[in-house]
Amino acid sequence: MKAIRVHQTGGPEVLTLDDIPTPEPGAGEVLVKIEAAGLNFIDTYHRTGLYPLDLPIPLGLEGSGIVEAVGTDVGDLQIGDAVAWSSIAGSYAEYIAAPEESVVKLPEGVATKSGAAVMLQGMTAHYLAHSTYPLKEGDTCLIHAAAGGVGLLLVQMAKKCGARVFGTTSTPEKADLAKGAGADEIILYTEQDFEAEVQRLTDGQGVNVVYDSVAKATWEKSINSLRPRGYMVFFGNASGPVPPIDPLLLSQKGSIFVTRPTLGHYTATREEFLSRTQDIFSWIQSGQLNVHIGEEHPLEQAAEAHRRLEGRQTTGKVLIIP
């Protein structure tokens, strides 16, 4: 089968399309013919070595497809089931052997492409809005990269919780997307100082929480956008990692909280994993959550997909299609 792997870390050019054996499902595993894989920033962190892994790296953590074979000790899944997953390495490929416990069956009305688009980024948005800082009616939040894959989903979930949402984007076109998802105010960070705009829009009070996936380029102004005892939530490193923060800064900025969550800690049990996916799928089915798939790239053009993502040229979800 064809699969994208990384034999040496570096830029998008290090992605190679390899011929490797099609896996056989082991005990508790299913063999899935992949119909779509999700592109996420964490894939670029693996590719560059920011998050070190043993070489060669089987790239991609998220996808969806159809079960073609089942191993022994598989309980509920059957051949022909449409399934999706996150956090299974090697998803940029034609097939994957996936542990049943890491896979969820897609319900009627949720297409495989939608499934691939919401597993990692959808569950990320879910835990951010409902667990890391549980938004409630009347809260204010700032969401960076509001027209991105997580951003568009997080805007919708934040509005569903009753929050007032400020979103940052780089272009008017992206602003329109974020506005369409429900953002109350859009700040074009390429033209405006988002810290000053947040303070103006909140009459100098600041927001309850900042959800920041950009990190190095935004962290200081993000902290300055918080109200006292606000929550600074870093969940990505699109511009590079945040430098070390002196704990005294937290008291100086209003006894604020800083956290750096990851999806694995918010889907630590099968029950929590299913609870989040069930919410997301039910919202898709009922029309309460719109999934915006901005681009699709064939497997052999995965490098170009990485270039566009890192160049901030994409909106919504980007899919890799085997």
Dump pLDDT digits (tens) for 270-284: 999 999 999 999 999
Report the residue count for the chain: 322
List of residues 6+ apart from 187 with CB closer than 8 A: 166, 167, 168, 169, 194, 197, 198
Statement: residue 321 has pLDDT above 90: yes
Q: What is the pTM of this model?
A: 0.92
pLDDT tens profile 31-89: 999 999 999 989 999 999 999 999 999 999 999 999 999 999 998 899 999 999 998 99
H-only helix segments in the chain: 41-48, 112-118, 120-127, 149-160, 172-180, 194-201, 219-224, 247-252, 263-266, 270-286, 302-310
What is the dihedral sign for C-alpha 77, 78, 82, 86?
A: positive
pLDDT average, residue stretch 177-181: 96
Residue range 136-161: mean pLDDT, rounded:
97
**pLDDT reported for residue 46:** 96
Residue 315 has pLDDT above 90, yes or no: no
Mean pLDDT, residues 207-227 taken together: 96
For residues 107-128, one letter each, b for 16 or more C-beta atoms within 10 angstroms of the residue's C-beta and e for the rest, the string is eeebbbbbbbbbbbbbbbbbbb
Structure tokens at 124: 């990320």
Q: What is the mean pLDDT of residues 140-148?
A: 96
Q: What is the pLDDT of residue 312?
A: 85
- Residue 270's pLDDT is 94
CB 231 within 8 A of CB 259: yes
The neighbour count for residue 78, using CB atoms within 10 Å, is 10
SS3 43: helix
What one-character DSSP code corresponds to residue 54? P
At residue 27, what are phi and psi to the nearest 5 degrees? -60, 130
Do the Cβ atoms of 158 and 178 come closer than 8 Å?
A: no
Angle, CA of 41, 8 and 121, to the nearest 5°: 15
| Mean pLDDT within 186-207 | 96
Average pLDDT, the chain: 96
Task: Please name each of the domains of the chain with its CATH number.
Answer: 2-118+291-321 (3.90.180.10), 136-260 (3.40.50.720)
Question: Which tokens belong to 184?
Answer: 């109350």
Tell me the pLDDT tens digit for each residue of 100-130.
999 999 999 899 999 999 999 999 999 999 9
Residue 16: pLDDT band with limits 50, 70, 90: very high
- Look at residue 34 in the predicted model and tell me its pLDDT: 98
**Beta bridge mates, 97:** 31
Does residue 238 register a pLDDT over 90?
no
Structure confidence at residue 316 (pLDDT):
86
- The pLDDT, as a whole number, for residue 42 is 92
